[in-house]
Structure 1
């Protein structure tokens, strides 16, 4: 449903209802972040899409949205008997009968993950006043800029992916003085958006469009809107447009479609380096 945000709402809602049938009352989502725009589109079609969160080590559900208690953009409240807390560094902790006893024949990993009855998930998050949990990223993937500012790339990538003209994105900037991003557009939505501006590029290839100034300008405008509420250190100063998507076959994605950051950074090292050199950034591109 990558193009759902740009489709005709009434038509999309009818298609969703026809696809799932009239007997479905609600759907669940897990395993990857659920874009708020997608959740709202399903809700408008009369198909509430409830997002939850958990790990294999936690049996596997920790929190879940549900009928009468649903906040899109969060992964819901803790299940009955489950405790959730946020550590000083932002890591999500959980405690209760759902937590594993330990890793098989791996006491070191067990000791690192289980402390004083709490399981350390490795995920970063926050709890609101009503106990709804939001996942903001993975602790091990935090980027530290040259000024010491810490940035959660997953959160920023989620903002990028909320834009209908962007299909894939990876934020980069470890040890740098500003952030950059590799952007794979949703070419169908982007072409349609350019048509509304009076520019028909249907005959142009993705390789050509990746270098087209109108494409860069449109994406710059959309990114600025998506990032209007983030701090200056979290802004994407420069971005590079890729004509082809990240794939499992190309080893840029895991089989669960998560970014393999080091592989992507190595593959596009020259492109990333050029962006910093053009802006007078620091030397070196590796992490």
Structure 2
């Protein structure tokens, strides 16, 4: 029997009435937990006879813990799958491990259901071919993988418990209190360092759901809700990754909230900056940095209340034997894992790929990775070549250099295939790549640079990137990308919606002149019905600007002066192309145009008038794309003169100037609520404007009396 289950049974006999486990639905004392584990084990034995691996995809809860402990009792391998895996990664993992079944807390169609810990789980039996796992495998934990294919690490129960027992020894059993998980239990660090350690020490594991602590959207957390949950539940210990710690310290600083019950905050998964540790100390957060990896059962070294040296990752746990190679690589003797899925047994000396040093007191300092693999602030291991290959798959991108060690989001230096490729086109390419990548590997910011060449020492002879040389050459740009720039954020956050607009058949055919004269006239009619509202909308924004935004009036006045009368240009184009301009003036827009204009008035009045600049971004950016190229193509195909395209041609030149003005204006938008409103309006407007185009058949006969 495992040391963990033995300890639970001993705690049940000695202090059985103490709370061991709870969530929003249930509370288990140690004696109740001991009994319930046996009940769930019997249920699983009946529902899933055999001894093959069982995969689990579920939110944090008492039920997750009960399933884990029951499978330990059955000596049956558990395969916890993180929720951030893509569908392809999940399926690949199930096949590679030979999972016999998948237990999931989401609806499972016709899959049989079981009740565990007050929650319903669906069991999907799988037809995976059996896979021979190393003997004594109790858990197969999948790392995020350095490519799209996660790596499966096989661990024995004794190896994991050895880590947890060492943590109890290092931290002290008397420190056991209420531990609230922030990371998903599917992450080994929380599973072993949080759950097992708490139960072995006789503490209370408060397994709140991710939504309950503000992590309903894992990569868009509500940190105010997290802090409230920690305070309300009197958490005494938590485990964080650096990005969560960074956000928590910022939220605490702004809100002046306190977490007086918190006694131990373990931080690992990636490097922690000295400035962040200093900020945590000023806020009286008891932060202790550690270092580990899945192959060693999640924790290798740790700072503690009794032995702490900020800046280091602590001393090795009692059972760990570390040494350094000649080049400084950290080596672990007998790390504890049994091997990787499909590979040979684990080596006796494990080469971590991390470079470190010891000080005179035995504290370890980790300086970086030996290889190119990046570790983000969320603790995800990512091969930059993987992300670069997705970006350069787009024909607009010639080369890409991805970076972002210890950052929340990756960034990239981009070399376009041609100098004429626009920034919006680059943004669309990155947006398309992001759509294929898991959340933890998406690119957030980018900058265009000159081609990387072997002559400059930026490429090897066979065309591979010389990463250190590129970092050195472009260090000013790389540092600048790390600084906030709202305009770039706006471009990136609307990339998906921009792609929807550009994918419109009407736009694609219009750019090559493949639409009828009737369709062009109908487009001009719809353009008139939204352009005539441009100045009134801006005047409406001026009348609704909140306090502190008066400086935007000057920009609005400049836009109003520039845009006044443009609807008359459109009517002139209609007349010159043979349409009935007066019928258009007196007519009505189609539904798509009316919805777009109505939404703009409504948003200004109901939500935030500053959001109107999201509409400006959409309309001026689109006009810049369509103006010259589309007008010239239609002049050729339709045999029309230049005086039929005054509106388009003038906007080609005007909007290029306007976009520079707009870009500078956006760098001055500092209030979060204004930035969010602009992004939201832009996302909606790209869709609504696309629908205006999509409502006009390319071979349309005339509407709105445009002929």
TM-score of the two chains, using structure 1 as the length reference:
0.47
Bigger strand fraction? 1
TM-score of the two chains, using structure 2 as the length reference:
0.21
Bigger helix fraction? 2
Larger RCO of the pair (alpha carbons < 8 Å, separation 6+): 1
Tell me which structure has the larger Cα radius of gyration: 2
